Amino acid sequence: MSKTSKKELVNWKAFEYYAIDYHRNNYKHIVYHWDNCSEDILYQCGYITDFNLYRLTRVSSYKEGIRNNYRDYGVDAIAYDEKSNIFHILQMKCYKKTSYITASDLASFSSIFYNRIQTKNKLSNAFIYHTCRIEKILSIDTKERPDSPFIYEKLSFDNDTDINNINNTNNIDEKDYKLYKHQIDAIDFIINKKDENILLLNIVCGGGKTLILSNSLKKIQYKCIIIIAPLLLLVEQLNKRVEWLNRNTHNYKKNKLNAVRKEKIQQLFKYMNIYNRLDNRNNK
């Protein structure tokens, strides 16, 4: 959300954090504000279905220094229920008390929910947190239906609320993500096999390979890390992301990540083979 409509209050950002804090306490979900949603989370919840479709957008946003380069289409936050392993999406409407939420206000949000989120998991819900009234026809179609996946909650909110005074501890940033079991197992595997010459970590798209790498770097010091990807942009993105995830750890300061162009890979491995031979001779 970037522009304020005539019926929208100016303190909408504070209301988003306020509603996220309410949702966290009421439903005991992990909540990610849109600004802090990584591609891994967007993929797991079903928002992203094809990374290649967004390649050009990623390129443009990367140059502008934008971390989450995906258009939200009304999704202000994503909630994750650890017990059921289900993702939900949230939208906040910080409107004047006399205003109405209409069907057109939720058009994009509804489309994302039905065509992406619920396609991934039929038990997902769409939460609407608001400060105003609801259009009657919209209420009949969504709110009043007993089987509706839409959940509306009207919250009392002071428009003068200072955003800094809101308990925002669970608007989780990527560096604070709770690791899944397969990610913990992968990290333990890397640490236990750190003296092996070659290790292959094969994880599906969206499985959290970057988190595994960054968490491994907190415990293991490498002389050199080589990142290989089809596009140099992706290599640079991953490099910055790992650096950001580990910016406060002692080990990362000793690690250097080298972005390697595809055409230099063969030459690099040639030099590595020569170095290994010389190193083996010296050890003898």
Q: Residue type at 173?
A: D
Residues 188, 134 share a domain: no
Residues 220, 251 share a domain: yes
Quick check: pTM over 0.85? no
The H-assigned helical ranges of 162-263 are 181-192, 209-217, 232-245, 250-254
Residues 219, 101 share a domain: no
Residues 90, 120 share a domain: yes
Domain-embedded: residue 263:
yes
C-alpha–C-alpha distance, residues 256 and 239, integer Å: 10
Give the position of tokens 């909408």. Answer: 12
Domain boundary among 139, 159, 174: 174
CATH number, position 87: 3.40.1340
Pairing of strands 150-154, 126-130: parallel
Domain-embedded: residue 257:
yes
Domain boundary among 131, 159, 174: 174
Residues 135, 37 share a domain: yes
Domain boundary among 117, 145, 174: 174
Residues 106, 232 share a domain: no
Give me the domain span that covers residue 207.
181-283
Per-residue pLDDT in tens (0 to 9) along the chain, 284 residues: 445 556 666 678 889 999 999 999 999 998 988 887 877 788 889 998 776 666 556 555 555 555 556 778 899 999 999 889 899 999 999 998 999 999 999 999 999 999 999 999 999 999 999 999 999 999 999 999 989 999 999 998 887 776 665 655 445 555 566 777 888 888 888 888 877 777 777 776 667 777 787 788 777 877 666 666 665 556 666 666 666 666 655 555 545 555 555 556 566 666 566 555 555 555 55
